[in-house]
Structure 1
Amino acid sequence: MTIAGLVLSGLAAAVHVLIFWLESFAWLTPRARRIFGTGESEAQATRELAFNQGFYNLFLAIAVLLGLVFFGAGAQTVGATLIFTGAGSMVAASLVLLLSSPEKRAAALKQGVLPLLGIAALALGLL
């Protein structure tokens, strides 16, 4: 289960790096507007907010990726702590999105299921 937890957490980090790219650099493109369901004027008006939010996603991904590096290097306690913190924050953010905007359930699930599965599998593997 430990390997599954590490892989799922790594995939969650990859998703959050993609979200970072979309929010911070591609926000005004038709693809990003389609993904996030924003019109051109709304995207222009929220550009700075999205840029900042994208970096939050990047920092969560970095925490998980650093955790994977430490875990792989033999510092399992440090690695697991970083993975649980980064992926746990991803899950918490997805819950905030789900509870505050139920119509964005699909986005919340895309953001939160992989890190939740990663945390669960890693926790079971470390027992």
Structure 2
Amino acid sequence: MLLFAKIIILIVTLLHIYFMWLEMFAWTTKAKKVFRTFPEELFEPTKTLAANQGLYNGFLAAGLIWSLVIQDATWQVYVGFFFLGCVAIAGIYGALTASKKIFMVQGLPAIIGIILLLVHQFL
């Protein structure tokens, strides 16, 4: 079960690295194609805000990477729980305040990872 949890953590990590890149470096180019419902004239004025949000996604990715490389098995799981929990909460909040799609892309994979870690802990 731990292997499946680590695979999910890796997937969530890669998603957050992509989100970071999109928000920090491609907000006025590629992001326009991804966030089609966002008014095009707002991309340039919100570039700094998006970059700040991207930085937070980078921190989440860094924490998830950390959870994969920690040598102590107990701490590896605890750090994984913490960062997956942060991602799950962000996904739930995003679904409630912005778009239900955020839950499917961000929240649900994190929750699956948490469930897999819990199963690993209790088996």
* TM-score after normalising by structure 1: 0.89
Aligned length, in residue pairs: 121
Query: Which runs of 5 or more structure 2 residues have no equivalent in the other structure?
Result: none
Which residue is 1:99 aligned to? 96
Q: Deviations over 1:1-33 (max 9, x none)?
A: 11111110111011011000000100000x211
**More RCO (CA 8 Å, sep 6+):** 1
RMSD: 1.2
Percentage identity across paired residues of the two chains: 29
Question: 1:21-64 deviations in whole A, cap 9, x for unaligned?
Answer: 000100000x2112122343211121111000001111011111
Report SS of the residue matched to 1:14.
Answer: helix
The answer for the alignment partner of 2:83 in structure 1 is: 86
The answer to whether the 8 A contact 1:20-1:57 is kept is: yes
TM-score, normalized by length of structure 2?
0.92
CA distance in 2: counterparts of 1:77 and 1:56, whole angstroms: 25
| Corresponding residue for residue 33 of structure 1 | 32
Q: Is the 8 A contact 1:98 1:108 kept in 2?
A: yes
Please give the alpha-carbon distance, in whole angstroms, between the structure 1 residues aligned to 2:102 and 2:33. Answer: 13
Structure 1: gaps (5+ residues): none
Deviations 1:61-92 (A, max 9, x none): 1111101101xx3x012211211111110000
Q: Which residue identity is paired with 2:40? A: E
Q: Secondary structure of the equivalent of 2:33?
A: helix
1:67 alignment partner AA = S
> Quick check: 1:9–1:119 contact (8 Å CA) kept in 2?
no
User: Is this contact kept in 2: 1:16–1:57, CA < 8 A?
Assistant: yes
Q: Write out the 4+ residue segments of structure 1 that deviate beyond 6 Å after TM superposition.
A: none
